[in-house]
Each structure stands twice: as C-alpha cells, then as structure tokens.
Amino acid sequence: MEQIFANRTNLTGFENSKLRTVKKLNSKLKFIKKENKSLIKFKTMSKSSSKKFKWSLEFNTKPKSDLAVPPGFNLSAAQSHSEVARDTDQNQLIMKKSWDVALGPIKGIPMNLLIMYMAGNSISIFPIMMVGMSLIRPLKAIFTTGATFKSFELIQNSIIPQKLIFFLGNLVNIGLALYKCHSMGLLPTHASDWLAFAEPQNRLEFSDGGLLFI
C-alpha cells in the first residue's frame, strides 16, 4: 500500500505529463481501432485484445514478479508484440481487397457480354431494360468511386491505380452498353437521326408567272 502510494507520489511533474501524452495516444488509437473495427471485419485482432491497451494505468494491479513493473505498464498488453507486423499484414489484405473491388467491373465483362448476346437486338422491353441497366450501373459506379474506395484510404499505399482500373473497367462496361445500343440502332449516329431537326432551305430568288392572259 505504501508502495502504491509511493508510486502514486512518484507520479508527479514529469510523470504526469507523460501520462497525459499516453492518454492522448490511447484515445487516438482507440479512434483508429474503432474505425477499423467497423470497416475491416477481417481484422484478426480479437475484441478482448483490442480492449487491452499498450499503455494503461491500473492502480490495483498486484506486482506478479519481484521486479516492479514500471508504473503504467501493462504486462498482459505487452504480449501484442507483433503489432507492427500485423499492421503490414492488414495493409496487404486491404490492398488485396481493394484490387478485388477495382477489378470487379472487368471481371463482370464476360457475363455482360453473354447477357447482351442472349438478349438479342430486337427492341422490346427486356433488352431495353437490360441495356438501360448496363448503362446506368457503370455510370453510377464511376460517380461513386470515391465512396467505394474510401475504406481503403487509411493504408499508406496509394490506391490511385485501383481507382484508375475501376474507372477503366466501368468505361469498358459503358462502351459495351453503347455498342449494344448501337447494334440495336438506338444511337443517333446516322444522318437520318438528325433529319427532323434540319431546317428548310431559305430561298434566294422569288418567282411567279403563268399562262398569258391575252
């Protein structure tokens, strides 16, 4: 009890300031972990371990060994020694996952091709719906690229290539849909499609006359 007190009394001045920084760090870590928890479900870290912080001040811990544990040091938490290694692991996973997401549209192309082929070139409700969907989906995806890749942004590596690939894949999909539109004859690519907007020619000369009256 005295020791504790001593410990406590030791925690003055310098110690106090250190504690404050530790607390700060802790809260930061907490925040990051919270986020990670919500976004990265595959994290191997167990829930309980996540609650064990590297630095925490426990006043009621009894020293298990002879050597006094430095105040504020949590022995059980010290076991998470491979934290750094694990972080790199996670990054790799995130990268992998982000590549998965980025390559998704390209992987969907053969399927799309098959569906388009099956739908045929006749203009009826289902092919039109299909073409519409296959046009709107990639467009939507392109516009929501930021949101899709937001969860991957915390890793150190840049995810710009993924985004680029994702964008390109969607472009390919749009191209496919447009080709489908073209083969269905829905694109105004011919002169005849603009005929209705052609203005009549202005005449320069005016004329009149007819059979003689005499």
124 binds another protein (CB under 8 A): no
Residue 183: CB minimum distance to another protein, A: 13
122 binds another protein (CB under 8 A): no
Judged by CB under 8 A, the chain residues 144 through 203 that form the site for another protein are 185, 190-193, 195-196, 198-203
Residue 128: CB minimum distance to another protein, A: 19
Rounded (5°) CA angle 125-131-137: 125
Q: For residues 85 and 97, what is the distance between their CA atoms, to the nearest angstrom?
A: 18
Evaluate whether 115 touches 130 at the Cβ level (below 8 Å). Answer: yes
Residue whose CB is less far from another protein, 1 or 195: 195
Residue whose CB is less far from another protein, 87 or 193: 193
Q: For residues 194 and 4, what is the distance between their CA atoms, to the nearest angstrom?
A: 90
Evaluate whether 202 touches 137 at the Cβ level (below 8 Å). Answer: no
Evaluate whether 86 touches 45 at the Cβ level (below 8 Å). Answer: yes
Residue 123: CB minimum distance to another protein, A: 12
Evaluate whether 176 touches 170 at the Cβ level (below 8 Å). Answer: no
Residue whose CB is less far from another protein, 110 or 200: 200
Q: CA dihedral in degrees (163, 106, 133, 113; nearest 10)?
A: 160
Tokens found for residue 105: 């549209």
Residue 185: CB minimum distance to another protein, A: 7
Residue whose CB is less far from another protein, 67 or 191: 191
Residue whose CB is less far from another protein, 2 or 199: 199
85 binds another protein (CB under 8 A): no
Residue of 1, 85, 147, 204 interacting with another protein (CB under 8 A) = 204
Q: For residues 214 and 178, what is the distance between their CA atoms, to the nearest angstrom?
A: 67
Residue whose CB is less far from another protein, 70 or 200: 200
The residue with tokens 């296959």 is 134
118 binds another protein (CB under 8 A): no
Contact residues toward another protein (CB under 8 A) are: 185, 190-193, 195-196, 198-214
